[in-house]
Structure 1
Amino acid sequence: MESTEVIFTGRAYGEIQLFSDEIKAGKMNIAVTDGRLTVFHTEVSPAFEGRGFAKLLLDRLVSHAKEKGLKIIPLCPYVSVQFRRHPAEYEDVWLKDWHP
């Protein structure tokens, strides 16, 4: 059984962690500041690849952003590609006009 958890390791930085049968199978590195949730990296352990776990992490990222009223800055290549492929699905949480 898969489960996800949002864990903050500091004031702004954290991870969305994915567990499969209590084994950490993947994570997303995130930060939250000023109403923005920046996602830097998505990683799924090789033993768990091909099971749709990156999408489970993405779903949890989006639901967390919606729950907290945050807009997502998709610096992670995986998240950026998914947002661009399915813009209507992520329109309400995607901060499109963000510039560093």
Structure 2
Amino acid sequence: MHVVEHETAKKRFLIRDNGSIAAVMTYVISSPELYIIDHTFVENAYRGQGLGDKLIEAMVEYARENGIKILPLCPFAKGRFERLSEYADVLNK
């Protein structure tokens, strides 16, 4: 099972496999209430396993717990937010 880590100092969510980063999603803090997802990357060997979705789910959960809205600028995240209405509560409109 892949565990999502949140490295607040580096402003990223990531998943490791045997010590190496398998997937990472970075964000920028625009304000205390608005985070911008600017990049999502999954290593080739891990693509198709839903790791990008796990990163987004972790950030959505973090946003809900902390009263934050998300602006997904990264194409992958933007697509997920457009397709999944369950994320509408944290989407910056």
Q: TM-score normalised to the size of structure 1?
A: 0.83
1:4 alignment partner in structure 2 = 4
Contact 1:26-1:54 at 8 Å conserved across structures: yes
> Alignment partner of 1:95: what SS?
coil
Aligned length: 92
Output the amino acid matched with 1:85: R
Aligned pair 1:89/2:86, yes or no? yes
RMSD: 1.4
Alpha-carbon deviation of 1:8?
2.5
Percent identical residues? 30
Query: Which position in structure 2 is the counterpart of 1:45?
Result: 43
**Counterpart of 1:39 in 2: which secondary structure?**
strand
Give the structure with the larger helix fraction: 2
Q: What CA deviation, in whole Å up to 9, does each residue of 1:37-87 have, x standing for no partner?
A: 11001001111111111111111111111111100011111111111112x
1:56 aligns with 2:86: no
Structure 2 unaligned spans of 5+: none
Q: TM-score, normalised by structure 2?
A: 0.89
